[in-house]
Structure 1
Amino acid sequence: MTIQLRLQELIDALDVSVLEFARKLGERRGEKVYHILHGRLKPSYDTIEKILMAYPQVNADWLLRGEGLMFKILSSPSAAITTEERLRNVEYLLFQLNERMTVLQATNDQLLAELTALVRKGN
């Protein structure tokens, strides 16, 4: 999954508009974020840093590389993630598992086809 898709998922999970999201990052308009979402721009280091500062519950590993959960599970009660954020984490994990199952099924099908072809050549 690309960073653009992860950013869109984050905006959806936070239940904010692109404009609200951009304004929380210090942007007056949402053009920069729209350009990132549509692949016309790559997010800069400064933009990533602003996202992580504005939304401290966001897991940097997830945002940058798609690894782990979307939201951190923080120990501080004031920074605890909401039930909705926990549900988003579970949804994302299920999405990742489904993606992996699809890849494994395709690999299995390919191996089965190759094995069948080898058996036919041997007969």
Structure 2
Amino acid sequence: MVNTEDFSKRLIQMMDYYEISAALLAEKIEVQRSSISHILSGRNKPSLDFVLKILKTFPEVELYWLLNGIGKFPKHSKIIESAPTLFSTVEKDITVKEIPKRIISQEKIEGDIERIVIFYKDGTFKNYNS
């Protein structure tokens, strides 16, 4: 059984992560605004249809996390990175939030990019050649 109060807390956490309001959430998952309001206030429990619409619209949300708090939010993507040693690799957990949302500098760069190197604090790196 889903704890309505905890579900609404997780729903708020999800809305904060995506930086959307309750009205925008209702629009995105195609439900009435009052449905969101009633779930957030604890008046109504979420229906299966409501939960499925969230999962379909927001793929980073895990079912078990949303329903009972088990698991992680957002889902993590595992990426194998080359380590500086010859024969080893390091796994890194990357979340969607770690990817910059906007360009830091609007200054135009002239010329072609030859390569990009990303250095991690643990000494690993990833090399991208054009």
Which residue, out of 36, 45, 48, partners 1:42?
45
Instruction: Please state whether the residue corresponding to 1:41 is helix, strand or coil.
Output: coil
Gaps of 5+ in 1: 86-123
Q: What is the TM-score of this pair, normalised by structure 1?
A: 0.59
Which residue, out of 85, 92, 96, partners 1:82?
96
Aligned to 2:22: 18
2:6 paired with 1:2:
yes
Let me know the Cα RMSD of the aligned residues.
2.2
Runs (4+) of structure 1 exceeding 6 A deviation are: none
Aligned pairs, number: 81
Gaps of 5+ in 2: 80-93, 100-130
Task: For 1:1-123, list aligned pairs within 5 A.
Answer: 2-27=6-31, 29-74=32-77, 81-83=95-97
Closer, same or farther: CA 7–71 of 1 in aligned 2, 3 Å: same
Q: What is the TM-score of this pair, normalised by structure 2?
A: 0.56
Closer, same or farther: CA 11–84 of 1 in aligned 2, 3 Å: farther
Cα displacement (A) at 1:57: 1.0
Distance 1:54 1:35 in 2: 20
